[in-house]
Chain A
Amino acid sequence: MTVPARLPTGGRIDRARPLSFVFDHRRLHGCAGDTVASALLANGVQLIGRSFKYHRPRGFLAAGVEEPNGLLTIGEGARCTPNVPATTTELREGLFCRRQNGWPSVDFDVMALTSWLAPFFGAGFYYKTFMGPRRGSWMMYEPFIRRAAGLGEATHLPDPDRYETRHAFADVLVIGAGPTGLAAARAAGRAGCRVTLVEQDFELGGSLLSAPAGSSDADLLATLEADVAALANVEVLRRTTALGVYDGNTVVLVERHDHARPDPAKGEAREVIVTLRAGTIIHATGAIERSMLFGDNDRPGVMLAGAVRTYLNRYAVAVGQTAVIATNNDSAWCAALDLAATGAHVTLLDERAGAGAGLGEAARRAGVDVRYEVRLRRALGGRSVRGVEYARRDGAPETLACDVVGISGGWAPTLHLTSHTGPKPVFDTALDAFRPGPFATGHYGAGAMMGTRSLQESLDEGHAVGAAAARHVGATGAVGAGPACAGEWPTGHAPSPPERSPGTGKAFIDFQNDVTTKDVALAHEEGYHSVEHLKRFTTLGMGTDQGKTANVDAAKVMASLRGIEMAVAGTTTYRPPYTPVSVGALAGRSVGTHFRATRLTPMHDWHLANGAVMIQAGPWLRPWYYGWAGKTVGAAYVEEMKLVRSGVGMSDVSSLGKIDIRGPDAAIFLDRVYVNAFAKLPAGKARYGVMLNDDATVLDDGTTARFDEHTYFMTTTTAQAGEVMSWLEFLLQVAWPELRVQVASVTDRWAGMSVAGPRARQALQLAFPGVDLSNESLPYMGVREFMFQGTTVRLLRLSFSGELAYEVYVPADVGTAMWSRILAEAAPLGIRPYGLESLASLRIEKGHVAGLELDHRNTLEDLGLGKMASKSKAYIGRELATRANLRRPGRWSLVGLELLEPTKKLRGGSILFNRHEALEGHGRGYITSVTWSTEHQKLIALGLFEGGLAHEGEEIVCAYPLRNEIVRARIVSPMFIDPTGERVHA
Chain B
Amino acid sequence: MLRIPCPHCGERDYTEFRYAGDATKRRPVHGTEDVRAWYEHVFLFTNPKGPHREYWQHVQGCRQWLVLERDTATNTVGRSWLARTGAPS
A interface residue numbers (CB < 8 A to B): 246-250, 275, 277, 672, 694-695, 722, 726, 729-730, 733-737, 874, 876, 879-880, 882-883
Please give, as numbers and ranges, the residues of chain A lying within 8 Å of B34 by CB-CB distance.
879
Please give, as numbers and ranges, the residues of chain B lying within 8 Å of A249 by CB-CB distance.
3
A735, B38: Cβ atoms closer than 8 Å: no
Q: What's the nearest-Cβ distance from chain B to residue A642, in Å?
A: 42
Please give, as numbers and ranges, the residues of chain A lying within 8 Å of B18 by CB-CB distance.
726
Please give, as numbers and ranges, the residues of chain B lying within 8 Å of A734 by CB-CB distance.
27, 55, 65, 83-84
Please give, as numbers and ranges, the residues of chain B lying within 8 Å of A250 by CB-CB distance.
1, 3
Lowest 4 A-B CB distances belong to which pairs?
A248-B3, A874-B31, A250-B1, A737-B84
A879, B30: Cβ atoms closer than 8 Å: no
Q: What's the nearest-Cβ distance from chain B to residue A898, in Å?
A: 39
Task: Kindly identify which residue among B27, B39, B57 contacts A735, using a CB–CB cutoff of 8 Å.
Answer: B27
A248 to B65, CA, bound (A): 21
B2, A247: Cβ atoms closer than 8 Å: yes
B35, A729: Cβ atoms closer than 8 Å: no
B3, A879: Cβ atoms closer than 8 Å: no
B65, A879: Cβ atoms closer than 8 Å: no
A695 to B43, CA, bound (A): 9
Residue of B nearest to A668 (CB): B30
Residue of A nearest to B41 (CB): A694
Task: Kindly identify which residue among B30, B64, B77 contacts A874, using a CB–CB cutoff of 8 Å.
Answer: B30
Q: What's the nearest-Cβ distance from chain B to residue A674, in Å?
A: 13
A879, B33: Cβ atoms closer than 8 Å: yes
Determine whether B59 belongs to the interface, using a CB cutoff of 8 Å to chain A: yes
A880 to B1, CA, bound (A): 37
Please give, as numbers and ranges, the residues of chain A lying within 8 Å of B27 by CB-CB distance.
734-735
Q: What's the nearest-Cβ distance from chain A to residue B40, in Å?
A: 11
A729, B42: Cβ atoms closer than 8 Å: no
A882 to B55, CA, bound (A): 28
A730, B30: Cβ atoms closer than 8 Å: no
A703 to B1, CA, bound (A): 40
Q: What's the nearest-Cβ distance from chain B to residue A672, in Å?
A: 6
Please give, as numbers and ranges, the residues of chain B lying within 8 Å of A246 by CB-CB distance.
1
Task: Kindly identify which residue among A248, A672, A722, A737 contacts B30, using a CB–CB cutoff of 8 Å.
Answer: A672
Additional pairs, 10, CB under 8 Å, beyond known A248-B14, A883-B39: A248-B1, A248-B77, A249-B3, A672-B30, A729-B57, A729-B63, A733-B64, A733-B84, A879-B32, A882-B35
Determine whether B72 belongs to the interface, using a CB cutoff of 8 Å to chain A: no
Task: Kindly identify which residue among A247, A672, A722, A883 contacts B75, using a CB–CB cutoff of 8 Å.
Answer: A247
- How many interface residues does chain B have, given as a range? 20 to 34
Determine whether B87 belongs to the interface, using a CB cutoff of 8 Å to chain A: no
A734 to B30, CA, bound (A): 12
A729 to B13, CA, bound (A): 21
Task: Kindly identify which residue among B1, B30, B32, B33 contacts A275, using a CB–CB cutoff of 8 Å.
Answer: B1
B3, A880: Cβ atoms closer than 8 Å: no
Given known A-B contacts A735-B27, A879-B33, A694 and B2 have beta carbons under 8 A apart? no
A695, B30: Cβ atoms closer than 8 Å: no
Please give, as numbers and ranges, the residues of chain A lying within 8 Å of B39 by CB-CB distance.
880, 883
A275 to B1, CA, bound (A): 9
A537 to B84, CA, bound (A): 54
A733, B65: Cβ atoms closer than 8 Å: yes
Given known A-B contacts A247-B1, A248-B1, A248-B2, A730 and B42 have beta carbons under 8 A apart? no
A101 to B63, CA, bound (A): 56
Q: What's the nearest-Cβ distance from chain A to residue B35, in Å?
A: 5
A882 to B30, CA, bound (A): 16
B35-71 interface mask toward A, CB cutoff 8 Å, 1 = contact, 0 = none? 1001101110000000000010101000111000000
A733, B83: Cβ atoms closer than 8 Å: yes
Q: What's the nearest-Cβ distance from chain B to residue A747, in Å?
A: 14
Please give, as numbers and ranges, the residues of chain B lying within 8 Å of A882 by CB-CB distance.
35
A874 to B1, CA, bound (A): 42
B35, A880: Cβ atoms closer than 8 Å: yes
Please give, as numbers and ranges, the residues of chain A lying within 8 Å of B59 by CB-CB distance.
722, 726
A880 to B35, CA, bound (A): 6
A247 to B32, CA, bound (A): 41
A722 to B59, CA, bound (A): 9
Q: What's the nearest-Cβ distance from chain B to residue A743, in Å?
A: 9
Please give, as numbers and ranges, the residues of chain B lying within 8 Å of A735 by CB-CB distance.
27, 30
A729, B65: Cβ atoms closer than 8 Å: yes
A17 to B41, CA, bound (A): 73
20 A-B contacts (beta carbon < 8 Å): A246-B1, A247-B2, A248-B14, A249-B3, A250-B1, A275-B1, A277-B13, A694-B38, A694-B42, A730-B55, A733-B82, A733-B83, A734-B65, A735-B27, A735-B30, A736-B30, A874-B31, A876-B30, A880-B38, A880-B42
Q: What's the nearest-Cβ distance from chain B to residue A425, in Å?
A: 18
Please give, as numbers and ranges, the residues of chain B lying within 8 Å of A275 by CB-CB distance.
1
1-18 of chain B: CB within 8 A of chain A: 1-3, 13-14, 18
Task: Kindly identify which residue among A277, A694, A726 contacts B3, using a CB–CB cutoff of 8 Å.
Answer: A277
Please give, as numbers and ranges, the residues of chain B lying within 8 Å of A874 by CB-CB distance.
30-31
Q: What's the nearest-Cβ distance from chain B to residue A739, in Å?
A: 10
Name the residue among A248, A275, A726, A883 with the largest chain B CB count within 10 angstroms: A248
Name the residue among B20, B27, B34, B43 with the largest chain A CB count within 10 angstroms: B27
Name the residue among B1, B43, B57 with the largest chain A CB count within 10 angstroms: B1
A307 to B77, CA, bound (A): 43
A246 to B31, CA, bound (A): 45
A722 to B63, CA, bound (A): 11
Q: What's the nearest-Cβ distance from chain B to residue A473, in Å?
A: 14
B20, A879: Cβ atoms closer than 8 Å: no
Q: What's the nearest-Cβ distance from chain B to residue A665, in Å?
A: 12
A275 to B3, CA, bound (A): 13
Please give, as numbers and ranges, the residues of chain A lying within 8 Å of B43 by CB-CB distance.
695
Q: What's the nearest-Cβ distance from chain B to residue A26, in Å?
A: 46
Residue of A nearest to B4 (CB): A248
A880 to B63, CA, bound (A): 28
Task: Kindly identify which residue among B1, B13, B31, B57 contacts A730, using a CB–CB cutoff of 8 Å.
Answer: B57
A670 to B42, CA, bound (A): 21
A880 to B38, CA, bound (A): 7
Please give, as numbers and ranges, the residues of chain B lying within 8 Å of A248 by CB-CB distance.
1-3, 13-14, 77
Please give, as numbers and ranges, the residues of chain A lying within 8 Å of B20 by CB-CB distance.
726, 730
A87 to B30, CA, bound (A): 68
Q: What's the nearest-Cβ distance from chain B to residue A182, in Å?
A: 27
A695 to B40, CA, bound (A): 11
A275 to B12, CA, bound (A): 13
Q: What's the nearest-Cβ distance from chain A to residue B65, in Å?
A: 5
Residue of B nearest to A725 (CB): B63
B14-26 interface mask toward A, CB cutoff 8 Å, 1 = contact, 0 = none? 1000101000000
B35, A879: Cβ atoms closer than 8 Å: yes
Please give, as numbers and ranges, the residues of chain A lying within 8 Å of B3 by CB-CB distance.
247-250, 277
